[in-house]
């Protein structure tokens, strides 16, 4: 065979080989990486485990970037495996994230402290893109809330194969009916309400429980129903404290000298503002305000206006830590398995979602909504495309139907 003919044959064989690989699909993906980003939730590890297991069952190598987008920026990653005694073995019921997480890492607007102490905010996303390419990752799984998925979408525009998985206890990621971690948070809040009930009843007190929920009141609303609360104040409904007072007095007329109130941290009075505990500046696109304190404010006002003693309990990080509920273990496993399946199918730039109760996926473009500008605004800010409680939601209708006061 002449040199030229041999060359042509080799080229032809290579092309056929590539075509076969493309058609085979599963051969395209060889090496993937996971990152967990944003505030932790119960269920992170269950998602990670499901991705790894599905990857292993399909001959794909799995890695994890340490501490979310920070790990991607620093190219700090570990091999993940579920084989005996390895990194990801026995992690299903474990709280937290075995690969860490970060709440301060918008790599599109990253806080850099120079040697002289001056602070600059830089777009370092291209360093991340280089890291992914250099190490040959065929797909990046981004486990996180709206801020994380906003960056994921921006990376997808930069040519990276990204698949998101929706996380947050606040349950406010767009395009999905539920995020992993939410059910555990609601269960913890409901248990707290059961406990507050007995002490409140014994001492004839108003017991206030402040739960998380910056811009969405899902935790407050659902736990109020699950825990038999009398009043639930959520960010979506600016409250009139006098309505809560009326409800407490109505109960007193029925001989009930105690009342249970759930307040989302992001709830605000009509014409008033949210209660901020402190602020920081980690750049655009991350949580720069720490909410907290509204429970105490509400308890004090109710005490003054009703003459009953009132006590506040702030549930805080109890809602995020510890083992996931069975529901969250299953949801997280479904999400993780689906994410890896999507990668094997070559479906990128998407988020795994639950739609009409079924496992599905949505485009990251739809997830960010009108918040299109690269790296501009993400995280828990007003501009984000968050899924808030709507007044026609079954939870609102149910709460109203059984007489839970929503402060309006
Ligand atoms: O978004 C999830 C969340 O748990 C919010 O409910 C809460 O306001 C926030 O994170 C707290 O974040 P951090 O731990 O960074 O203060």
DSSP letter string, 202-217: HHT-EEEEEE--SS--
Kindly give the distance from the C-alpha atom of residue 389 to the centroid of ligand 1, in angstroms, as a whole number: 18
Both 218 and 177 in a single domain? no
Ligand 1 closest atom vs CA 172: 1
Ligand 1 closest atom vs CA 292: 8
The Cα–Cα gap between 54 and 341 comes to: 8
Most confident of 24-38, 104-118, 225-239: 225-239
Given a contact cutoff of 8 angstroms between Cβ atoms, the answer to whether 169 and 344 are in contact is no
Kindly give the distance from the C-alpha atom of residue 292 to the centroid of ligand 1, in angstroms, as a whole number: 10
The Cα–Cα gap between 90 and 49 comes to: 9
The Cα–Cα gap between 98 and 278 comes to: 29
Q: Where are the beta strands (DSSP E) in 123-264?
A: 139-144, 162-166, 206-211, 231-233, 259-264
Range of the domain at 285: 183-319+391-401
Both 7 and 130 in a single domain? yes
Both 175 and 201 in a single domain? no
Decide if 42 is inside a domain.
Answer: yes
Closest CA to 238 of 269, 262, 201: 269
pLDDT for position 380: 57
Decide if 406 is inside a domain.
Answer: no
Both 116 and 263 in a single domain? no
Decide if 202 is inside a domain.
Answer: yes
Both 149 and 160 in a single domain? yes
Closest CA to 147 of 376, 388, 354: 376
Decide if 376 is inside a domain.
Answer: no
pLDDT value at 23 more than 70: no
377 vs 162, more confident: 162
| pLDDT level of residue 17 (50, 70, 90 thresholds) | very low
Which tens digits make up the pLDDT trace of 310-320?
A: 999 999 999 99
Say if strands 110-113 and 77-80 run parallel, antiparallel, or are unpaired.
unpaired
pLDDT for position 26: 46
Both 312 and 240 in a single domain? yes
| Catalytic residue numbers, as ranges | 170
Decide if 380 is inside a domain.
Answer: no
Decide if 239 is inside a domain.
Answer: yes
pLDDT value at 386 more than 80: yes
Mean pLDDT confidence for 233-238: 97
Question: CATH number for the domain including 61?
Answer: 3.40.50.450
The Cα–Cα gap between 353 and 144 comes to: 13
Given a contact cutoff of 8 angstroms between Cβ atoms, the answer to whether 185 and 212 are in contact is yes
Both 202 and 170 in a single domain? no
Q: In the chain, helix, strand, coil percent, each to 5?
A: 40, 20, 40
Mean pLDDT confidence for 196-212: 98
Mean pLDDT confidence for 146-175: 96
Name the residue at shortest CA distance from atom 9 of ligand 1.
Answer: 39
Question: CATH number for the domain including 276?
Answer: 3.40.50.460
Both 59 and 70 in a single domain? yes
Say if strands 162-166 and 289-291 run parallel, antiparallel, or are unpaired.
unpaired
Given a contact cutoff of 8 angstroms between Cβ atoms, the answer to whether 298 and 274 are in contact is no
Pocket-forming residues, ligand 1, beta carbon under 6 Å: 39, 103, 145, 168-170, 212-214, 265, 287, 290-291, 320, 380
Decide if 408 is inside a domain.
Answer: no
Q: What are the structure tokens assigned to 152, written together?
A: 């994921």
Three-state secondary-structure class, residue 405: strand
Both 34 and 157 in a single domain? yes
The contacts of residue 167 (CB under 8 Å, 6+ apart) are 36, 38, 41, 43, 44, 47, 143, 144, 145, 148, 173, 179, 180, 181
Both 38 and 121 in a single domain? yes
* Structural domain total, the chain: 2
Q: What are the structure tokens assigned to 308, written together?
A: 């009953």
Kindly give the distance from the C-alpha atom of residue 105 to the centroid of ligand 1, in angstroms, as a whole number: 14
pLDDT for position 25: 45
Q: Which of 97, 106, 143, 212 to mutate to test the pocket of ligand 1 (most atoms within 8 A of CB)?
A: 212
DSSP state string for 31-62: EEEEEE-SS--TTHHHHHHHHHHHHHTTT-EE
DSSP classification of residue 167: B
Which tens digits make up the pLDDT trace of 339-364?
A: 999 999 999 999 999 999 999 999 99
Name the residue at shortest CA distance from atom 14 of ligand 1.
Answer: 39
pLDDT for position 245: 98
Both 304 and 354 in a single domain? no
Decide if 173 is inside a domain.
Answer: yes
List the single range of 89-98, 104-113, 246-255, 308-317 with lowest mean pLDDT. Answer: 104-113
Q: Which of 42, 100, 146, 170 to mutate to test the pocket of ligand 1 (most atoms within 8 A of CB)?
A: 170
Both 209 and 129 in a single domain? no
Kindly give the distance from the C-alpha atom of residue 302 to the centroid of ligand 1, in angstroms, as a whole number: 26
User: Could you give phi then psi for residue 306, rounded to 5 degrees?
Assistant: -110, -20
Kindly give the distance from the C-alpha atom of residue 77 to the centroid of ligand 1, in angstroms, as a whole number: 25
The Cα–Cα gap between 49 and 43 comes to: 10
Q: Which of 168, 189, 211, 214 to mutate to test the pocket of ligand 1 (most atoms within 8 A of CB)?
A: 214
Query: What integer best gives the mean pLDDT of the chain?
Result: 92
Given a contact cutoff of 8 angstroms between Cβ atoms, the answer to whether 285 and 377 are in contact is yes
């Amino acid at each position: 065979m002449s040199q030229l003919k041999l060359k042509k044959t080799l080229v032809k064989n290579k092309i056929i080989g590539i075509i076969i690989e493309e058609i085979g699909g599963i051969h395209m993906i060889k090496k993937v990486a996971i990152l967990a980003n944003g505030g932790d939730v119960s269920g992170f590890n269950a998602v990670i485990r499901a991705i790894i297991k599905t990857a292993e069952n399909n001959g794909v190598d799995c890695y994890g970037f340490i501490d979310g987008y920070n790990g991607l920026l620093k190219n700090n990653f570990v091999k993940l495996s579920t084989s005996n005694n390895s990194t990801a073995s026995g992690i299903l019921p474990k709280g937290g994230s075995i690969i860490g997480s970060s709440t301060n890492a918008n790599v599109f607007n990253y806080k850099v402290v120079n040697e002289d102490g001056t602070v600059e905010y830089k777009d370092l996303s291209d360093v991340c893109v280089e890291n992914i390419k250099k190490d040959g990752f065929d797909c990046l799984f981004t486990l996180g809330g709206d801020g994380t998925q906003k960056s994921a979408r921006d990376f997808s525009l930069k040519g990276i194969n990204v698949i998101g998985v929706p996380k947050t206890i606040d349950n406010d990621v767009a395009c999905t009916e539920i995020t992993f971690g939410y059910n555990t948070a609601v269960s913890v809040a409901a248990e707290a309400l059961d406990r507050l009930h007995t002490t409140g009843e014994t001492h004839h007190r108003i017991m206030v429980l402040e739960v998380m929920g910056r811009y969405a009141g899902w935790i407050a609303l659902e736990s109020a129903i699950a825990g038999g609360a009398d009043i639930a104040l959520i960010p979506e409904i600016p409250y009139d404290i006098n309505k809560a007072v009326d409800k407490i007095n109505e109960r007193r007329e029925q001989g009930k000298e105690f009342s249970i109130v759930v307040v989302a941290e992001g709830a605000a009075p009509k014409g008033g503002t949210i209660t901020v505990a402190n602020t920081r500046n980690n750049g655009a696109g991350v949580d720069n305000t720490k909410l907290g304190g509204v429970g105490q404010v509400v308890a004090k006002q109710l005490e003054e206006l009703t003459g009953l003693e009132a006590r506040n309990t702030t549930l805080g990080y109890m809602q995020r830590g510890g083992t996931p509920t069975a529901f969250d273990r299953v949801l997280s496993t479904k999400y993780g398995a689906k994410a890896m399946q999507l990668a094997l199918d070559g479906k990128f730039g998407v988020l795994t979602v639950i739609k009409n109760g079924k496992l599905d996926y949505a485009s990251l473009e739809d997830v960010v909504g009108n918040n299109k500008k690269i790296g501009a605004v993400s995280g828990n800010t007003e501009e984000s495309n968050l899924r808030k409680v709507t007044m026609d939601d079954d939870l609102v209708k149910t709460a109203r139907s059984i007489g839970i006061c929503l402060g309006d």
